[in-house]
Amino acid sequence: MSDSSSMAAGWYEAPGDPPGTKRYWDGSQWTSDPMTEAQIAAQTGATAAPAAAAPAAGAAATGAAGMSPWGDLAPWGTRALGFLIDWALFALVPYIAVFVLGAVFGAISDALGALVIFLGYIAVLALFIYVLGYGVGTTGQSPGKRLMGIKIVGKETGQVIGGGAGVGRWFAHIIDSLVCYIGWLMPLWDKERQTIADKLVSTYAVIVPKGEIMPLMPDGKPF
């Protein structure tokens, strides 16, 4: 079975879990911790019915292109639009604002204008890393990804990857930019639609199912 979204509710062997354990699949997501047959029987009062194993981690690599165990993989065009939205919100507009402020304060003093630009650019970079690195790692989404209905999840787990891995993934995009930005273009021909950064950190960009509640920022507020 190459697409877990077609699986009926039940107990299955989940990718990445210890051998001999199963999780409960409610038809759309895993809803329990790994359990042995004995633990399942104790919890449910009956032995879990035999079920086919869930798709192995990375099933998209051997299944249909554009599919993963955690949902449809986001097309390159959708990812590109999400990136452009984020770039405009957290790079283009803020850097223009910093430049204008630097020019204003520079009219008073060259040193003051240079200081404003220097500190402003550092602040914008920090915001960029926080939202597009840490934020994506802890929620799976940035504003651009949210607007385009994309979520970044772990290839092995289907869950968000965490803030540290999110920041690492952001820095890994530097490699995507080497050699004529070839890494950014890889989802056009890669069967798993991954960039180099995705492969290094082991992530998928999946389409968020309609009706799914969008994740929140790390501070608990919506984007």
Residue 1 lies in a domain: yes
Residue 103 lies in a domain: yes
The answer to whether 77 touches 30, Cβ cutoff 8 Å, is no
Domain extent at residue 108: 72-207
Beta strand residue intervals within 27-177, DSSP E: 67-68, 71-72, 150-154
Residue 219 lies in a domain: no
pLDDT tier at 20, thresholds 50, 70, 90:
confident
Residue 213 lies in a domain: no
DSSP type of residue 35: B
Residue 164 confidence (pLDDT): 95
Q: What is the tens place of the pLDDT at every residue in 180-216?
A: 899 999 999 999 999 999 999 999 999 987 555 454 4
Same domain, 119 and 178: yes
Q: What is the tens place of the pLDDT at every residue in 77-133?
A: 999 999 999 999 998 998 899 999 999 999 998 999 999 999 999 999 999 999 999
Residue 148 lies in a domain: yes
Whether 171 shows a pLDDT value over 80: the answer reads yes
Mean pLDDT of the chain: 81
Q: What share of the chain has pLDDT > 90, as a percent?
A: 53
Same domain, 46 and 114: no
The answer to whether 186 touches 196, Cβ cutoff 8 Å, is yes
The answer to whether 89 touches 144, Cβ cutoff 8 Å, is yes
Q: What is the tens place of the pLDDT at every residue in 34-65?
A: 878 777 776 665 444 444 444 444 444 434 56
Same domain, 163 and 193: yes
Residue 65 lies in a domain: no
**In the Cβ-directed half-sphere of 52, how many Cα atoms lie within 13 Å?**
11
The answer to whether 68 touches 198, Cβ cutoff 8 Å, is no
Tokens of 168: 């690492």
Same domain, 30 and 94: no
Number of domains in the chain: 2
Global model pTM greater than 0.95: no
Residue 216 lies in a domain: no
d(CA 58, CA 48): 26
Lowest-pLDDT range of 42-46, 70-74, 151-155 = 42-46
d(CA 8, CA 26): 7
